[in-house]
Amino acid sequence: MKIVNEQRQSDPHLSIIEVAERLFGQIGFQKTTVADIARELRMSPANVYRFFSAKAEINEAVGGRLLRSVEAAVDDVVKQPGRPAEKLRAAIAAIEKANADRFVSNRKLHELVETAFNENWPIVHEHVKTIHASLSAIISQGVHEGEFHADDYQLAALLVHSACIRFCHPRLMVECAQDPEPTLDQMIDFCLVALK
């Protein structure tokens, strides 16, 4: 615990992001001010601005951290042994689960991620590129093992991600939650037929 506290003290940038994430989760990112973050850290707002030139940068830093946790879950799937078809199913399911868990556990943080997607923040473009790279790696594995047939792995990854967007986009996932079909398994089955 002492080491973690020392790291926070030596990395004010990280401390600001952690405090901002906690406050965003409590009162919402739009209602949280730089002064609120500074007060929690016992520093002046001017000191916060030494590390972030605007509140929007703090919003993006917190949003990026939340999206990286989704990317890590998908990356874990990519690294696991197993058949590519099951890995593809597990990767999309991991994205849906991460979004659903955030929505259930902290809607205010989910709202931040949803806003990032709706407003096309740069972190979303990076996130989508990372997810596409992971899906492309699974598809590449499937082609090399003879399970899939695709000439362009990146295009195939884009198509699978687009087909499954209702399970991957934080707003669409919530809006479509009450629709019984297509289910995640039905959509992945459809994509697998296309890949084979």
Q: Where are the domains of the chain?
A: 2-51, 63-195
User: 49-75, pLDDT tens digit by residue?
Assistant: 999 999 999 999 999 999 999 999 999
What value does the mean pLDDT take over residues 110-121? Answer: 96
Query: Can you give the pLDDT at residue 112?
Result: 97
Three-state SS sequence of the chain: CHHHHHHHHHCHHHHHHHHHHHHHHHHCCCCCCHHHHHHHHCCCHHHHHHHCCCHHHHHHHHHHHHHHHHHHHHHHHHHCCCCHHHHHHHHHHHHHHHHHHHHHHCHHHHHHHHHHHHCCCHHHHHHHHHHHHHHHHHHHHHHHCCCCCCCCHHHHHHHHHHHCHHHHCHHHHHHCCCCCCCCHHHHHHHHHHHHC
Model confidence, pTM:
0.88
Is the per-residue pLDDT at 8 higher than 80? no
User: Distance of CA 53 to CAs 37, 47, 106, Å?
Assistant: 14, 10, 27
What value does the mean pLDDT take over residues 78-102? Answer: 95
- Between CA 192 and CA 73 the distance in angstroms is 21
Residue with tokens 């995640």: 184
Rounded to 10°, the helix 84-105/55-79 angle is 140
Do 63-195 and 2-51 fall under one CATH topology? no
Average pLDDT value over all residues in the chain: 92
What value does the mean pLDDT take over residues 171-182? Answer: 85
For 2-51, CATH number out of 3.40.50, 2.170.130, 1.10.10, 2.60.40 equals: 1.10.10
- Between CA 92 and CA 77 the distance in angstroms is 10
User: What is the CATH topology of the domain spanning 63-195?
Assistant: Tetracycline Repressor; domain 2 (1.10.357)
- Between CA 102 and CA 30 the distance in angstroms is 18
